[in-house]
Chains A and B, each alone.
Chain A
Amino acid sequence: MNRRDFVTALGLVPVCGPALAATSVASTPRGKAEHCIFIWLGGGMGQIDTFDPKAVGDNRAGAKKPGALYPAIETAVPGVHVCEHLPRTARLMERMTAIRSVHHKVIDEHAFATNLVHTGRMVSGNAVYPSLGSIVAHTRGAADPAVPAYMLIGYPNVSRGPGFLGIKAGAIYLVDTETGPAGFMPPPGVDAESLARRHELLRAGAADAVAGTAPADYAEAQREAFRLAGPEFLKHFRLIDEPADVRESYGGEFGQRCLLARRLVQGGVRFVEVSHNLNFINGAGWDVHNDGIVNQHVLIRELDNALAGLVSDLAAHRLLDKTLVVVATEFGRPPEFDGRGGRGHQGTAFSMVLAGGGLAHRGVYGTTDELSKTVVDAPVGIPDFHATILAALQVDPATELMAGSRPVPVTDGGVPVSALFG
């Protein structure tokens, strides 16, 4: 049988736009990463309470004093500090770079900012821009024919979607590590005997379609789907196969998702987005308005365990140089406290983190003022952030995608952070 791979079966064929502008390769920073694990902290991670700590303020007094909620600690990189709730991450800081000078102007609304950070562009009524994951899937495809290029552990939405790149560049998703990818797990209550009977009945029924016609093409896609829903792909989801100490090193469900992401990357998935959305830790997740901030430290610790666990484990598997880990969020939070001691939204300066991926890490890049309200040095806009990730993943930032007949540059004029490319 003509073995069609996951990529072509789902139509996930990498295609480069015809209009590749000629840029000198030597001048464009180019990384060595083959995969990306994109950790999404939904709600807006407060930079001043995590990767860009400043002098401690006070959110309990009647007249609140702006500042960090927690004291800072030293890290493995001299002169670089992070909040005290990131101890494991601190010890691995030489393998990471917290970009403290990220900025944008969209802070009012989560969906808008989420869309901006995922697609790198402001919303348009004329083209639905693809997410970073779809762009990577489209340009590079999967690293192994048996798996999809782009997977999502979280809820599908238009910001994570392929936009004008079409269904082919979309993600296969699962909502948590227990349930498995939608459409590829055998349905509950259907045993192996039933499965075999179903496929036998289908095979007999599909014999009539004339080759080359649409029903025959669909029947072909169907045969592929049922093969893909088999053990070769599904084995990656068996976290039970991991040693207990490895599982513990990652922590709870969020950590287990990161572990699953490592397995998927090992299996050849090019881009895995892992969302951190378990809001029953502190209710609002990272969106710590008002009382939501009370247990923010628990959330930060969970991130610490998962991120450090992931980076160490990738290193142990010799995958860290080939895997770019991104910690992204839709905006940051101001140093001032709101009425009940929480924080609002802030886009003028916030932090996102890169780890691994063969980059020349330096602990931090970019500087903010003494309250992390504004960027003082080396600003990184969202298009630059995208360009950096794409360059790390060996996607030429001058690539053009095609929305019908309209060439769309892969980033909106973004320039990769050259300091990270050594």
Chain B
Amino acid sequence: MAAPAPGGEAFPYDDAGWAAFHAREESRLAAVDAAARGRARDSQQDYWDKRREHAARWLERTPDVAVPALPSGFPAHNPIDHFLAHKIVDYRAQARAVPVDGVDFWREIHPILEARCLECHQGGKAKGGLHLDSRGSALAGGEVEGPAIVAGKPEESPLMRRILSSDEDERMPPLGGRLAASEIELVRRWIAEGAVWPEFRPLPTDLTPPADDLAFLRRVTLDTVGVVPTVAEIEAFQADASADKREHLIDRLLADPRSADHGMGAWQDMLAENPNILNPTLNNSGPFRWWIYESLLDGKPLDLMVTELLRLGGSAKDGGPAGFAFASQNDVPLAAKATIVTTAFLGVETQCARCHDAPAHSARQEDVFAVAAMLATKGVKVPSTSSVSLEKLREGGRKPLIDVTLEPGVTVEPRWPFTMFAPESLADTLALDPSDSRDRLAALVTAPENERFAQVMANRIWARLMGRGIVALPWDWERSATSHPELLRWLGRELVRSGYDGRRIARLILTSHAYQRTNDPSLAQPSPLFTAPAARRLAAEQIVDSAFVAVGKEFRTEDACLDIDSIRDTDNSIDLGRPRRAWMLCSTSNERDRPSLSLPRIQAVCDVLGAFGWRASRPDPLTERESAPSALQPAILGNGTMGLWLTRLSDDHAVTRLAIDAATPEQFVEQLFLRVLTRRPRADERARYVSLLAPGFAARRTPPAAARPAATPRRPPYYVSWSNHLDADATVVRQAEEAAARQGDPPTALLADDWRRRAEDALWSLLNRPEFLFTP
């Protein structure tokens, strides 16, 4: 029997036929959706034409940033390399001025400042107006005592007096105990020697050469589409003999729809996308991930995307960014969103300003609530739960380190607080509807006059690709050093010039010589001179997605849904679909601890993701995840359930096919290395793996006739859903599912058992190498 489909094509009415039909329908419907989104965007085309025109005029009337001439002896692919080279030359000149044998400021003094002083003495709210994050400001001093340091004269330096003082009100630092005697002596000597303070710590200034083809291919593929390259992609790239093959590769990858998948993690973190499949609780937002994904897929300009977000249109559950407005069980959801907006798009950290004026930043609580009111389109009341009682603080005795200038119970009206970035009046002409405060907020955030926005977005892209921002903390510019201010402004203008196309900035960075250099294996992070990249630990999603792609096993989990027969209201239960990439997973929401509500396969993958820094629940925004190594990571990857699925040679595993078809053990080993590590084995590696796999290689295949595949009875499996999960049977069924997930798929009968185990060991050992987890 055949099932006729629209267009007349017939599909056989069997499993394979259904799969083919399903795939075709999915891509057809995706195209229908994309076309509909396109038409919706077209309906706003007049407004956006006006915005582009406005941006073009702004670019014309504001001075361009001059690209410096390339110093001799430096390679360059584009202006980025010019800016970087210029700075390196400048730094070399500074380095020649540092005295030999004196106190090493960066090695000995800066760690003290960073650990004990900079918390309070930097940024917009530096205590006493004293900034200790640069020599100039330390010498200029603060409001209370004038210069903190008198070069050459420690006895006249107030900083010295304070760290020696035994008077509790005078002593610095005020918390955590006095500095150690050895530290005090170091500071004294350093001041006596003239308080030499170079802009950067000693840095190598030699550039590393360009990375070889395969290292470059792996790195750029991971950095654009979030997975390692396939063998076909490797062969195609190596076969390409054109001079600009790298640029072509970059263009192909940036246009690849998988780049939208790769972009998701950063956006979900930045916007605290936090849906729950069972009852919105604990700061859950709606599932606006789909809107993020479509925006990335459609290549929306960043100003348009952020404008859509802030207008909060669409449905909270069914599409569009309205789900961003929600934070369940939060006392003032829109104040939480205001913090997200300022950190994500303006580099202004307002986390502390939620309940009181930020102690070390210029942001005040009133600013956060003013933005919240703009999002609310009306006044927002400050509840007592979002405030701190000053009486309680004063109980401690010492003057509180925070200010509370906003009384609880006060209503804050909509107001744009960031007039240093753009004047509020700009919204009168630029906003889609100037009487709507959300439109005004969107216009003021994304206007080209707001250079901060373009630079923040460009810096975020730079930080992800280069391993270090031009502005060190992409979400908190007040507390960050900026290594290349001119380059930053140039990139900001390029972003505006491109129509806010983030891919243009990505392309500039990826095509630069600086991005393509060989890693310096001695670096944990690139230096602020960007002379050489450092190996970067992959994000959790990259690790998981790459592992499945590399070994060729289908990413297969349950539906991300606890109500698969849909008896509950969508206000309480939503379906996040069948995940095909890590970003589509979510918290398994089993606060009730019921085995019948577990999702074992999703949990197995979440265990790996969580160990590598992914968050199942994202109640607050984040830019930089934890990336420190912990023994839990190799444990869960190497011994855990997901690792078992990846390394068990089952019938549906690509390496099983490879093993069966390989002509020689050498060929098999080479294929494994290419798939997993994007390189060929070295001679010693080849020898070791071939000696493992050569014995029994010739006889490894079981004749298909003799191989008895496991018979699976055709019977609809029981399903467990919210509707029946309280039945005793539901627990039994689910526990069987848990056990099945832990056991993995049975090994193939087509390979001799002993040889198969050795092949699995070989695969496991490659997948679990540290090399797999870092950019080459």
**Residues on A close to B: CB < 8 A?**
6, 9-11, 18-19, 21, 40, 42-43, 109-112, 114-115, 122-128, 154-159, 166-168, 170, 172, 175, 179, 182-191, 194, 197-198, 201-202, 204-206, 208-210, 212-222, 224-226, 228-229, 275-280, 283-285, 287, 292, 404-406
Contacts and interface: CB of A to CB of B under 8 A. Distances in A.
B592 A10 contact: no
A278 B770 contact: no
Contacts of A215: 535, 770-771, 773-774
Given A167-B626, A182-B636, A185-B639, A201 B761 contact: yes
Nearest to A403: B351
Contacts of B521: 209-210, 213
A157 B589 contact: yes
B360 A9 contact: no
B685 interface: yes
A218 B633 contact: yes
Contacts of B154: none
A229 B638 CA distance: 11
Contacts of B535: 213-215
Contacts of B747: 189
Given A126-B339, A212-B522, 6 more contacts: A42-B593, A125-B620, A167-B613, A210-B521, A215-B770, A406-B352
A198 B761 contact: yes
Q: 8 tightest CB-CB pairs across the interface, nearest first?
A: A125-B336, A277-B593, A201-B765, A18-B176, A183-B635, A183-B636, A222-B634, A280-B728
Contacts of A187: 639-641, 643-644
Contacts of A204: 688
Interface stretch (B51-59, B135-143, B279-287, B702-710): B279-287
B372 to A, nearest CB: 11
A285 B616 CA distance: 25
Interface string B591-624: 1111110100001000100110100110110000
A4 B718 CA distance: 47
Contact of B688 (A159, A201, A222, A276): A201
B85 interface: no
B182 interface: no
Contact of B629 (A21, A220, A284): A220
B344 to A, nearest CB: 14
B762 interface: yes
B23 interface: no
A123 B330 contact: yes
Given A198-B765, A213-B524, A206 B770 contact: yes
Interface of B: 119, 175-177, 272, 276, 279, 281-283, 327, 329-331, 333, 335-336, 339, 351-352, 354-355, 359-360, 385, 396, 521-524, 534-535, 537, 587-596, 598, 603, 607, 610-611, 613, 616-617, 619-620, 626-636, 638-641, 643-644, 648, 685, 688-689, 692, 726-728, 730-732, 738, 742-744, 747, 757-758, 760-762, 764-766, 768-771, 773-774
Contacts of A185: 639
A311 to B, nearest CB: 22
Contacts of A214: 524, 534-535, 537, 627, 629, 774
B760 A405 contact: no
Given A9-B631, A114-B591, A214-B535, A125 B272 contact: yes
Nearest to B627: A214
A223 to B, nearest CB: 9
Contacts of B335: 125
Contact of A229 (B610, B639, B728): B639
> Most chain-B CB neighbours within 10 Å: which of A154, A197, A206, A210?
A197
A18 B175 contact: yes
A213 B522 CA distance: 6
A117 to B, nearest CB: 11
Contacts of A226: 634-635, 638
A124 B744 contact: no
A278 B339 contact: no
A155 to B, nearest CB: 4
A188 to B, nearest CB: 6
> Most chain-A CB neighbours within 10 Å: which of B534, B598, B638?
B638
B635 A218 contact: no
A210 B589 CA distance: 41
B692 A197 contact: yes
A128 B40 CA distance: 38
Nearest to A179: B742
A21 B396 contact: yes
Contacts of A189: 644, 648, 743-744, 747
A225 B726 contact: no
Contacts of B354: 125-126
B176 A19 contact: yes
Contacts of B331: 122
A111 B742 contact: no
19 contacts: A42-B592, A110-B591, A111-B589, A111-B591, A122-B385, A125-B330, A155-B603, A167-B628, A183-B640, A189-B747, A206-B770, A213-B523, A214-B627, A214-B629, A214-B774, A215-B535, A217-B629, A226-B635, A279-B595
B396 A278 contact: no
A330 to B, nearest CB: 9
Contact of A202 (B276, B639, B768): B768
Contacts of B648: 189
A111 B619 contact: no
B593 A10 contact: no
A142 B593 CA distance: 25
A18 B634 CA distance: 32
Nearest to A129: B619
Contacts of A276: 593
A217 B535 CA distance: 12
A184 B632 CA distance: 9
A168 B773 CA distance: 20
Given A125-B272, A157-B587, A189-B648, A225 B631 contact: yes
B758 A124 contact: no
A221 B634 contact: yes
Contact of B329 (A123, A172, A206): A123
> Most chain-A CB neighbours within 10 Å: which of B276, B588, B771?
B771
Contacts of B730: 280
Nearest to A42: B593
Given A182-B607, A210-B522, A229 B635 contact: yes
A388 B595 CA distance: 31
B631 A205 contact: no
Contacts of A406: 351-352
A198 B764 contact: yes
B281 A111 contact: yes
B370 to A, nearest CB: 17
B133 to A, nearest CB: 14
A123 B283 contact: yes
> Most chain-A CB neighbours within 10 Å: which of B591, B598, B641?
B591
Nearest to B746: A189
Given A188-B744, A202-B769, A225 B638 contact: yes
A182 B640 contact: yes
B635 A184 contact: yes
Contact of B279 (A109, A186, A208, A213): A109
Contacts of B537: 214, 218
A21 to B, nearest CB: 7
A215 to B, nearest CB: 4
Contact of A183 (B591, B639, B728): B639
Nearest to B272: A125
A277 B591 CA distance: 10
B101 to A, nearest CB: 25
Contact of A222 (B339, B603, B611, B770): B770
Contacts of B119: 405
Contacts of A128: 617, 619-620
B626 A202 contact: no
B761 A167 contact: no
Given A110-B592, A125-B619, A279-B726, A172 B634 contact: no
Contacts of B640: 182-183, 187
